[in-house]
Amino acid sequence: AQSVTQLGSHVSVSEGALVLLRCNYSSSVPPYLFWYVQYPNQGLQLLLKYTTGATLVKGINGFEAEFKKSETSFHLTKPSAHMSDAAEYFCAVSRAGGTSYGKLTFGQGTILTVHP
Amino acid sequence: IAGITQAPTSQILAAGRRMTLRCTQDMRHNAMYWYRQDLGLGLRLIHYSNTAGTTGKGEVPDGYSVSRANTDDFPLTLASAVPSQTSVYFCASSDSAYGSANTGELFFGEGSRLTVL
């Protein structure tokens, strides 16, 4: 079984400040890890993903995340927040291998608010 | 570029009625999925299909059924809607459920908001 916990359902930052959204996972097998973003009244779109290889992954819009196996974490960061980053962010995990690729387990979501 | 098209975008439904949410993709993806999104719970998998002609149960399948007659379409049916099925429903697809070519990235539709009264 696998699970994802996002710490903090709401995060508020000032424009230009560091964005840090926390995600911890549990998985009995090597995981694939994802961050998705959802803008109001839209579907989810992929920000970045970790499968194998380099543990620091870069995504769109200046976001990056680091896979830390020892901490079972995959926190999302961005050095400088922009107003357009305001959205809901979801961390997700899937099993690596077999037919489990697309059957993601999602966290509860974190709503990011950016204020001027 | 259409990607995934869901219909209807919004619907209010009386309890006990039958409802089918439609999902069509034009990316020729083999695998398709239905998720429901509820506040504080994130997205939960209802049903999936690894390829045309096959379907499987996800985390919360009760009260829902799906079919996959062809590659492009993956309708979700509520045989007799109940208020607890009030939710936003997302259809998604991925290029394959098998093999290393697929890394689990999903492509989502824009959702169908369903209210059951």
Question: Is A109 in contact with A89 (CB distance < 8 Å)?
Answer: yes
User: What single DSSP character describes residue A30?
Assistant: P
pLDDT at residue A111 greater than cutoff 50: yes
CA distance to partner chain B, nearest, from residue A70 (Å) = 22
Look at A96 and B45; give whichever has higher pLDDT.
Answer: B45
Q: Could you tell me what percent of chain A has a pLDDT over 70?
A: 94
Inspect the interface and report whether the beta carbons of A49 and B105 lie closer than 8 Å. yes
Q: Which residues in chain B (88-107) have CB-CB distances under 8 A to chain A?
A: 90, 92, 94, 96-98, 102-106
Residue listed under structure tokens 């899937």: A94
Q: How many angstroms from the chain centroid is the CA of residue A110? A: 9
pLDDT, average across residues A95-108: 72
3-class DSSP state of B2: coil
Radius of gyration over alpha carbons of chain B, in Å? 14
Q: From chain B, pick out residues whose CB is under 8 angstroms from the CB of A90.
A: 42-43
State the best of B94, B105, B107, B112 to mutate against chain A, taking most chain A CBs within 10 Å.
Answer: B105
Point out which residues pair with A13 in neighbouring strands: A114
Nearest to B106 among A42, A51, A104 (CB): A104
Question: Is B19 in contact with B113 (CB distance < 8 Å)?
Answer: no
Q: What is the pLDDT of residue B96?
A: 66
Q: What is the pLDDT of residue A74?
A: 96
What is the C-alpha to C-alpha distance for residues A11 and A7, in angstroms, rounded to an integer?
10
Question: Is B99 in contact with A102 (CB distance < 8 Å)?
Answer: no
Q: What is the pLDDT of residues B3-59, one digit of tens each?
A: 999 999 999 999 999 999 999 999 998 889 999 999 889 999 999 998 899 999 999
Q: What is the pLDDT of residue A80?
A: 97
Q: What is the pLDDT of residues A60-90, one digit of tens each?
A: 999 999 999 999 999 999 999 999 999 999 9
Q: What is the pLDDT of residue B18?
A: 97
Backbone angles phi and psi of A80, in degrees to 5: -140, 110
pLDDT at residue B70 greater than cutoff 50: yes
- Taking CA–CA distances from B3, the nearest residue in chain A reads A43
Q: What is the pLDDT of residue B95?
A: 81
Q: What is the pLDDT of residues B72-103, one digit of tens each?
A: 999 999 999 999 999 999 999 988 655 444 56
The 10 Å CB-count burial string (b at 16+, else e) for B46-84 is bbbbbbeeebeebebbeebebebeebbebbbebeebeee
Nearest to B98 among A45, A94, A99 (CB): A99
Point out which residues pair with A35 in neighbouring strands: A48, A91
